[in-house]
Amino acid sequence: MKWSTNSKKLAAAFLTAAVFISGCGNDSVPLSYGTLDNNPDFALEDLGDQTTIPLFAHELCAAATDVTEKSGISTGALNSACVYDLSGKKVLYSYNANEHLSPASLTKLMTVLLAFENCPDLDQKISVGDVTIRENGAQLFGLKEGDRISIRDLLYITLLPSANDAALALAIYIAGSEEAFADMMNERALKMGATNTHFLNPHGLTQEGHYTCAYDLYLMFNELLKYPEFLDIIQTQSQTIEYTSADGSLNSKDAKTTNQYLKGGIDTPRTVSVIGGKTGSTSAAGKCMILYATSPAGKPYIVVVMGAEDVDTLYKTINNLCNDVI
């Protein structure tokens, strides 16, 4: 039987739907035919005599609807909240997981992921491009065109103080322009199944049409956990950054985390150990955070909160999610 292009698209849509309907832990679905050898246009690889194929998201957490019965958390002061059990492949809590929202600096997760995937030598020194950002109040490290700095240090600056000029410097170095990098971001998002995402910039400053959702951020963070360097960075409270200005002078400046758990300004949850994460904040996005934490037994979890009305609500919600749901 010859599969048409439309038939292939329908089959792919069916498999994708099966993932979200079935949730976590289902590793495969049965094939209607014993082999795909006679359907080369459909088969992506030689499946031999297999009668099942692995689901796209068989290693991921997925839920088709909100999952809120385990918690009495008030959702009136936030836009979205989720808890993902990585080892159990379960969604423990999900509120508005797929709603299109402004992510603020949580955007930088995708920027950092593309840096890891496209820059094999993190200690390579690069020349900073034009990273001029004129938005009032935007967090900046103070990088200028022509500065020389390592990719590793740009990652620290992007993740810890969440400097927008550092994220832009990575984007321009990798793709040549901010626009080309946004295209890369969106292509990578689709490849990982982040279908409720559309990025227009590498830093997350407010721009109409720039959005993602809590579930897609989980997918991005989950990919980043494959890189030990990422875990090292998000656990860091402060990192001294040394770089060379365009005029040849040496500079040294500390990059400090915005994570109040690591800074000691907020009591941590009772039930888990906080490893690290990423914060984000704009007037459009509200207060946002994605957190990586582990249980006393070492089980890993990802917690996402988006659109909290203030910092107290953000951290109180995360603590309640950890203490009541995990």
Query: What pLDDT, in 10s, does the model give residues 191-244?
Result: 999 999 999 999 999 999 999 999 999 999 999 999 999 999 999 999 999 999
Question: Is the Cβ–Cβ distance between 210 and 200 less than 8 Å?
Answer: yes
Is pLDDT above 80 for 185?
yes
Helix (H/G/I), strand (E/B), else coil: 107: helix
Please give the class, per CATH, of domain 104-206+238-258. alpha beta
For the stretch 10-26, pLDDT in tens is 444 444 444 443 344 44
User: In sequence order, what are the residues at sequence separation of 6 or more whose Cβ sits closer than 8 angstroms to the Cβ of residue 38?
Assistant: 1
Helix (H/G/I), strand (E/B), else coil: 213: coil
> In 3D, which of 231, 112, 106, 133 has the Cα closest to residue 181?
112
Q: Over the chain, what is the mean pLDDT?
A: 87
Rg (CA), the chain: 21
- CA–CA gap between residue 260 and residue 264 (Å, rounded): 6
Mean pLDDT of the region 113-142: 97
H/E stretch holding 19 reads: helix 5-22
Query: Residue 8 has which token pair?
Result: 């292939």
Helix (H/G/I), strand (E/B), else coil: 63: coil
State the catalytic residues: 105, 108, 162
Q: CA 198 → CA 123, 134, 169, 204, 318, distances in Å?
A: 30, 23, 20, 11, 26
Helix (H/G/I), strand (E/B), else coil: 145: coil
Is pLDDT above 90 for 267?
yes
Mean pLDDT of the region 119-127: 98
Query: Residue 141 has which token pair?
Result: 């490290």
Domain extents for the chain?
5-54, 104-206+238-258
Query: Residue 237 has which token pair?
Result: 């409270």
What is this structure's pTM? 0.84
pLDDT at 31: 40
Percentage of residues in the chain having pLDDT higher than 90: 77
pLDDT at 248: 97
Mean pLDDT of the region 176-186: 98
Is pLDDT above 60 for 7?
no
> In 3D, which of 70, 69, 81 has the Cα closest to residue 313?
81
Is pLDDT above 90 for 89?
yes
